[in-house]
Every structure is written in structure tokens, then in C-alpha cells.
């Protein structure tokens, strides 16, 4: 048992991580956040460590390294998990301050940086994703630490996106490759690029189970399914009971952000203009190009620990892409 603090614990990925920590019954868990607690987070919880009641929110502006270290020390945190989205220089700097604060705090032993997708330390010929520089900055900072054990967690793409808005998820919608609502698919390259994927709740569940391990390898993988985009279309068509209109677009076009928009993404860009001030075409194009180039195929990953295999028989297997698509899109 230990105290675990999740930076960004009220966010898209932070919420399922917090839920998994609570459900395990083994950790006194806190969400560190700039936000005020939302409905359902205003109640005290009972600590499995002390049996005492506590309020699971730490509010902070993340601006002071020393203040962060004091907050970690005050809670006697043993593990810090960063679930902040690495989308800007500001969030990158926030994570760097958090790493330095954790390293200063003698009670913090483990740190999980905000990776949570794929291997970022590769060239643009595999992963043409400009924001990977934020992840690499965190890696350089972690390499300087003297007291922290750390590991990168790779779940691939979050599978939830292929079920939205019909499955419960903490993620805001975004559409890749298949727009089931409008019966269309636009695939990168020849459609043979493979994507590894896992639901957010399963990624969170295995992350929390990994806290039990005595020693962490540098990379841990949580993957429920890996399929090509052509195979993904077939799974959708089988579930829907009808054919999709399928088109392909060259990787060269995607790299220039000259992508064809799926109809659903046009609506999403308008609805979430605050989250996507520059639009979402470039985000989707970079991701789909990365799929075609092999960046999302975690079957190709080098040395790592497969958490699904490691905990086989001790927890239910993660939801597969076939199960998710049937749950979301099977006609009633």
C-alpha cells in the first residue's frame, strides 16, 4: 500500500487512472489539478493505509517546483503519475517541474511520465509527430534524476475513439480512419498499416497493477488488439451488416496535412474549437501517417514487459477491438 498522486487526475486519462486506483482498494490516491473538483469528487474517501477519511484532491497551479515538492512531501507520496496531455510548451514545462519536484522529495520513489501511446524516441520516418519533442524532453529530465524509478507505459491508440459517442469514455471525441456514423472510411497509404490499441479503462487498470511489481523495466506495454486499417474496416462492416465507402490517401499528402476530412471530424472541430484552436486536420493527418509508417504497431516494439501477459489469470483480459465495435455499433 502506498500514496499515489496523479497529476491531471481530473482529466481525460487521469480520471480512469484515479478510478482504477480507488477500485484496487490498495492506495491512498490523490488527483492533482488546476481545476476545482467536479461532481462526484467532492466527497471524502477512507484511506486503506490509515483508515482515516481524506479529501482526494490537491489543487495546484504547477508553477513552483518547490511548492510541488512540498505538496508531495505533505502527502507522503510514494508514486507520481503524470497524466497531463503533452500538447504545448506550457504542459511540457509543467511535467519537467513535476519531475524535478518528485526527485527532490525523498519519499517519492517512482514516477510515470505522460507517454501513454507509443515509442516516441524514433525518427519522423516512423512517427512524424511534432509534439513528441515534449516527451523526449521529459525523458532527458528523468535521465538526470538520482532517486526515481520510472517506466514508459505504451497502450497504443486509445480504443475508445472507435466507439465514441456510443461507449462510455472520459475522452472527448476524435475520429481516425473510420466514420461509422456516416458510413465512410479514409485509410492512410494502402490500409495495411497496423495499429495497436487499448481502452482507457484497461490501460489504467494494468498501470495500477504494475505498481505491485518489485522492479520496473524501462518500457511496459498494455495492448488489447493490433489490426491493420483494412482489417478494422472489415470488423466495422461485419458488425454494421453493411459496406462502408472506403477511400485511401497517400502518406505524402498526409505529411503535408492535405488530408481528406471525415464528416464527423468537421463537426467535432466546431464543437471543441477551444481544444483544437488550430483545427484537427493536422492532428489526424500526423497520426494516420504514423500508422501507415509503422509507428503504432507495438508488435514491433523492442525489449519490454507485456503487462497483459504478466497479469494473465489475475485480472480479466482487456476488451478487444471486436468487442468494443460490437458494443458500440451493432444494430439493435
pLDDT category at 226 given cuts 50, 70, 90 is very high
**Residue 101: pLDDT above 50?**
yes
How much is the pLDDT for 227? 98
d(CA 230, CA 252): 19
**Residue 276: pLDDT above 90?**
no
**Residue 278: pLDDT above 80?**
no
How much is the pLDDT for 83? 97
Residue ranges of domains in the chain, CATH in brackets: 2-150 (3.40.50.720), 159-194+227-299+317-329 (3.90.25)
pLDDT category at 214 given cuts 50, 70, 90 is very high
**Residue 297: pLDDT above 90?**
yes
Q: What is the pTM of this model?
A: 0.94
Digit-coded pLDDT (tens) for 25-63: 999 999 999 877 665 566 789 999 999 999 999 999 999
**Residue 279: pLDDT above 80?**
no
How much is the pLDDT for 41? 63
Cβ atoms 145, 184 nearer than 8 A: no
How much is the pLDDT for 277? 43
Q: What percent of the chain has pLDDT over 70?
A: 95
Cβ atoms 161, 199 nearer than 8 A: no
Digit-coded pLDDT (tens) for 114-170: 999 999 999 999 999 999 999 999 999 999 988 899 999 999 999 999 999 999 999
How much is the pLDDT for 274? 54
Amino acid at each position: 500500500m502506498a500514496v499515489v498522486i496523479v497529476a491531471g487526475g481530473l482529466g481525460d486519462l487521469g480520471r480512469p487512472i484515479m478510478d482504477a486506483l480507488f477500485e484496487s482498494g490498495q492506495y491512498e490516491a490523490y488527483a492533482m489539478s488546476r481545476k476545482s473538483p467536479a461532481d462526484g469528487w467532492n466527497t471524502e474517501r477512507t484511506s486503506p493505509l490509515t483508515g482515516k477519511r481524506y479529501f482526494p484532491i490537491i489543487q495546484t497551479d504547477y508553477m513552483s517546483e518547490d511548492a510541488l515538492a512540498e505538496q508531495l512531501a505533505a502527502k507522503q507520496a510514494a508514486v507520481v503519475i503524470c497524466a497531463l496531455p503533452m500538447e504545448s510548451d506550457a504542459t511540457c514545462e509543467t511535467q519537467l517541474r513535476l519531475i524535478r519536484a518528485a526527485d527532490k522529495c525523498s519519499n517519492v520513489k517512482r514516477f510515470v511520465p505522460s507517454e501513454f501511446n507509443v515509442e516516441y524516441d524514433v525518427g519522423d520516418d516512423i512517427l512524424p509527430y511534432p509534439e513528441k519533442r515534449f516527451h523526449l524532453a521529459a525523458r532527458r529530465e528523468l535521465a538526470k534524476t538520482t532517486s526515481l524509478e520510472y517506466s514508459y507505459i505504451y497502450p497504443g491508440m486509445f480504443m475508445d475513439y472507435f466507439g465514441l459517442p456510443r461507449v462510455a469514455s472520459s475522452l472527448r471525441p476524435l475520429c481516425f480512419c473510420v466514420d461509422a456514423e456516416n458510413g465512410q472510411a479514409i485509410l492512410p497509404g494502402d490500409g495495411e498499416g497496423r495499429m495497436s490499441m487499448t481502452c482507457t479503462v484497461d490501460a489504467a487498470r494494468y498501470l495500477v497493477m504494475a505498481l505491485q511489481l518489485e522492479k520496473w523495466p524501462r518500457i511496459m506495454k498494455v495492448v488489447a488488439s493490433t489490426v491493420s486499417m483494412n482489417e478494422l474496416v472489415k470488423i466495422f462492416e461485419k458488425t454494421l451488416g453493411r459496406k462502408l465507402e472506403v477511400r485511401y490517401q497517400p502518406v505524402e499528402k498526409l505529411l503535408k496535412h492535405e488530408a481528406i476530412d471525415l464528416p464527423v471530424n468537421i463537426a467535432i472541430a466546431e464543437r471543441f474549437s477551444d481544444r483544437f484552436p488550430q483545427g484537427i486536420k493536422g492532428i489526424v493527418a500526423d497520426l494516420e501517417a504514423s500508422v501507415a509508417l509503422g509507428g503504432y504497431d507495438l508488435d514491433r516494439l523492442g525489449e519490454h514487459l507485456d503487462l497483459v501477459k504478466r497479469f494473465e489469470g489475475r485480472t480479466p483480459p482487456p476488451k478487444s477491438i471486436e468487442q468494443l465495435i460490437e458494443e458500440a455499433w451493432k444494430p439493435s
